[in-house]
Each structure stands twice: as C-alpha cells, then as structure tokens.
A = this chain, B = another copy of it.
Amino acid sequence: MSQTGDGRARRVDARANRRRILDVAEEVFGKGGESASTEEVARLAGVGIATVFRHFPTKAALLQAVLVRRFDRLREQAEALLGTTDPGSAFFEFFRHLVADAATKIAIAEALLDAGGDSDGEATQASNGLRRAVGALLQHAQQAGAVRDDVELPEVYALLVATSRAAAHTNLDDEVKARALAIVFDGLAPHRNARVQAHQQPELSQPHGQPPT
C-alpha cells in the first residue's frame, strides 16, 4: 500500500497525505455518514481535492479503504481479547466496545450490515474477518457457560449490528443505551437460576443499575 503500482516507493509527502486523508475520512464519514462530501475531507485534511482523488480513484474507494482499516482493527481487538480475559467477559466486553465505538462512526455501523452485499470486495472480506472473530468469541463464551448455547452466530451478529446502528444515531441517552444493551445481554445469558460463574453479567435487577464496564 505504500508502493505505487509499478513497485516504486512513494514519496514521503504522498505517504503522509494518504495517511492524513484516511484519518480525516474516518472522522468525517463517521460523523456524517457516507453522504459527507469529498471536498470536506480534503479541506479538513489540508489538501486539495485532486490529492484525495489521486490516492483514491473514487469516493467509494476511499470509503472502502476506511472501512477495511476499521474492520481490521476491530478484528485485531477481538482476537486480542480472546486470549486475555475469561471468555464470558471477553464476549460481552467486545460487544459493548463495538456498540460504543459505532456511536461515533455512523458509516461503520451502516457498512457492517451492508457489507453482506458482495458489491465491494475488499471491505466485504475485512467484514467477514471481523465476523469470524466474533464467532470465535461467541463459541468460547458458550463453552464457558457465559452465553446460552442455543444461539448461533447469525442472530448474535445481527443483534450486534442492530444495536450498533441504533447507537450511531445519537439521540439516545447513554444510560438508556446501557439499559437496552443489558436487556439484549440478558437474552443472551443462560437461564438466570442456572448461572454460577463469577464473571460479570449485566445486572438488571436494580432498575437503574449501570452494566459493568
């Protein structure tokens, strides 16, 4: 990616600009969705429009590049969580993280689902990587007894996407978001009277209780 088509290394200013454009685009598309204009990206990145189009031949390509980077990062985070804490915490932690993250990244949340359509190859591939990582988290959480084992990845992923999308449109209070998420988590948990594990579970018995972070 830091090489031009015929194998020559890019100039340093070109690399710096490319990186800055990507960063700004993530911010801009995250806030305004994909309807945000390319001109705004260029302006905030402090470059001309032509520079943006030189690095990314089309607006769709730019958006795709942003998505790929984002998906890859999320996947890495999911994979990292897989080894470090107990499986139950890892799963719910990542779920919560993704929802909170999507709150400032409308475009990501929108794309999570739409990437199912095979129209944009690279982004779809990255999205699938993330999906697989979530699948691994789910499987481990189920084996540990933290998630009921009669649910499967498709519906869990659908819920993940749905809550992320909703969180992205910010009219909601944080408290309400947390409580809605707690309801979903409760639906994912094994029967309550069968729970014995020590790992933290969202607690709804105290009406206004903030779920553990």
Contact = CB atoms under 8 A, between A and B. Distances in A.
A150 B166 CA distance: 22
A171 B204 contact: no
Interface in A90-142: 113-114, 116-117
In terms of DSSP, what is the predominant structure of the interface of chain A? helix
Most chain B beta-carbon neighbours within 10 Å: one of A162, A192, A204: A162
Interface in A138-160: 148, 150-152, 154-156, 158-159
A9 to B, nearest CB: 40
Contact of A162 (B154, B155, B165, B171): B165
Interface stretch (A60-68, A74-82, A174-182): A174-182
A83 interface: no
A192 B187 CA distance: 11
B192 A116 contact: no
B154 A173 contact: yes
Interface string A35-68: 1000000000000000000000000000000000
Given A162-B163, A185-B187, A187-B187, A171 B116 contact: yes
B176 A166 contact: no
Contact of A169 (B114, B152, B186, B206): B114
A155 B176 contact: yes
A161 B166 contact: yes
Contacts of A148: 204
Contacts of A166: 113, 158, 161-162, 165
Interface in A184-213: 184-188, 191-193, 204-207
A151 B179 contact: yes
Contacts of A183: 151, 155-156, 159, 184, 187-188
14 contacts: A116-B172, A151-B204, A155-B179, A155-B180, A156-B183, A159-B184, A162-B162, A162-B180, A183-B187, A186-B186, A187-B188, A191-B192, A191-B193, A193-B193
